[in-house]
Structure 1
Amino acid sequence: MGILDGKKILVAGVTMDSSIGFATAKIAQEQGATVLISNFGRALSITKRIAKRLPVEPPVLELDVTDPDHLAGLADQVREHVDGLDGVVHSIAYGNPATLLGQNFLEGPWEDVAQAVQVSAYSLAGLARATKPLLHEGSSVVGLTFDATVAWPAYDWMGVAKAGLESTARYLARDLGKEGIRVNLVSAGPLKTLAAKAIPGFSDLEEMWGTRAPLGWDNTDQEPTAKAVCALMSDFFPATTGEIVHVDGGFHAMGA
């Protein structure tokens, strides 16, 4: 019997099997959950192929979190497979690597910044709003961040978007708490995901973790992060909301 036994989970934003979203879906299934995953556009066909690599092939929903019609129809899509949700995972972020990342902060155009904030931060509120009819007291919403309390090499405007995500999570925790719905984030160390590969200079971050994380850090292992996400969706954190749980080998707690 797993910690998610009998629970129904939507993992929004699964593309490659190297993603945190995929690892979360896998661990959730292993812990007894019924899992649904989502993607959209050209990536949807990739997600459908990748879904076959999970222990149980899950339903794959089409969801573009920037499309109001997709959000409006999400609850009905979910109800085609399950009668409600116990957990929602927001594994969604995007920033144009050519204009927003790689030590070119002062030149970031507003149009691209606005897109990054919409996809990476505002979408958490949109996803929570769209799934709220399916949630209940004890349900959990969990998102993924990269510590936005400091300025990182190369991360630039995505750091600003993640700061927006972290603030959004706190306000959602405030507003959804009255209904017993928890909202938390997991802050992972740098991982070799598809998104990370698009960040110019990302190797600088990886090198820092290799020397300063007291527990060490394997940037190819998504499982520790996925386990933290699943733990927050379980019943083992009934009074925790508005929190950011660091899964970074302890890097965040160290000085220079």
Structure 2
Amino acid sequence: MSGLLAGKRILVTGVLTDASIAFHAAKLAQEEGAEVILTGFGRLSLVQRIARRLPKEAPVIELDVQNREHLDTLAERVAEHLGEGVPLDGLVHSIAFAPQDALGGNFLQTEWESVSTAFEVSAYSLKSVTMALLPLLAPEDGSVEGRGASVVGLDFDAQVAWPKYDWMGVAKAALESTSRYLARDLGHQNIRCNLIAAGPLKSMAAKSIPGFEQLADVWDARAPIGWELTDPEPAGRGIVALLSDWFPKTTGEIVHVDGGVHMMGA
């Protein structure tokens, strides 16, 4: 078998529709030789239906990142699909949520309860899911030696304040910091942690952001190499690259896949 991810086992979270970046990351990972497992939240039957649209149908595991039992049993449930003693080589974190009152221009009025939910689901879960899977990413028997594992999260550039994005933007800033601290603390176990900062896409998640079109208009006007709002594949390719062995010493990094908007001035 050939391919960037030949022989690797990857867990991809956050697949909801075949228009999502997570779906395209899973599809490309399979095409590059990886075995893929998906997680789903809520409507598992929908995720299972989407899983059948992959080149090879992938198993689906239920995961609510706010459910302690789900996190405590995650490694065991993933291991059932990997086989005894088989490590996990990569994790794709594509999980984010903010209540409606934390978005859409309501920044000054949002209560802590909604803010804390956005932080827990969108930022802290990068740490909680990674640690839940640590027994598979860095097995205590030493089988990690010479192998390494990669954690890749999905970001939306948090260097600036975006229209309507409000507390989700702050949560993404927390995600970026969380990734750096994970990179620091897990590096000695040969686990890399990086983020892909993708431009906006017309996905299920985008539909939940009031004023999304206003945000998307920025890319139409400012992306020097252009940006297609309906094409998740460039971001999926970035994820696959970071999961691969081609970036063995890259960690704590944010790779922008946004048509270049992040570096443009006024």
Identity %: 61
Distance in 2, matches of 1:35 and 1:13, equals: 13
Aligned to 1:67: 67
Mapped to 2, the partners of 1:32 and 1:5 lie a distance apart of 4
User: Which residue matches 1:239?
Assistant: 249
Read off the aligned partner of 2:91 and give its amino acid letter: V
Which of 186, 196, 209 in structure 2 is aligned with 1:199? Answer: 209
Contact 1:3–1:32 (CA under 8 A) maintained in structure 2:
yes
Distance 1:183 1:35 in 2: 19
The structure 1 residue matched to 2:90, chosen from 80, 87, 91, is 87
Mapping of 1:1-256 within 5 angstroms?
A: 1-41=2-42, 43-82=43-82, 83-97=86-100, 99-135=101-137, 136=144, 137-256=147-266
Distance in 2, Cα, partners of 1:162 & 1:179: 25
- Displacement, 1:30? 0.5
For structure 1, the 5+ residue unaligned runs are none
- What is the TM-score normalised by the length of structure 2? 0.94
Tell me by how many angstroms 1:68 deviates: 1.1
CA distance in 1 between partners of 2:252 and 2:118 (Å): 22
TM-score scaled to structure 1, two decimals? 0.98
SS at 1:81 equivalent: helix
Q: Secondary structure of 2:230's match?
A: coil
Aligned length: 254
**Which consecutive segments of 4 or more residues in structure 1 shift more than 4 A?**
none
SS of equivalent residue, structure 2 residue 168:
helix
2-structure distance, mates of 1:95, 1:142: 21
> Which consecutive residues of structure 2, in runs of 5 or more, have no partner in the other structure?
138-143
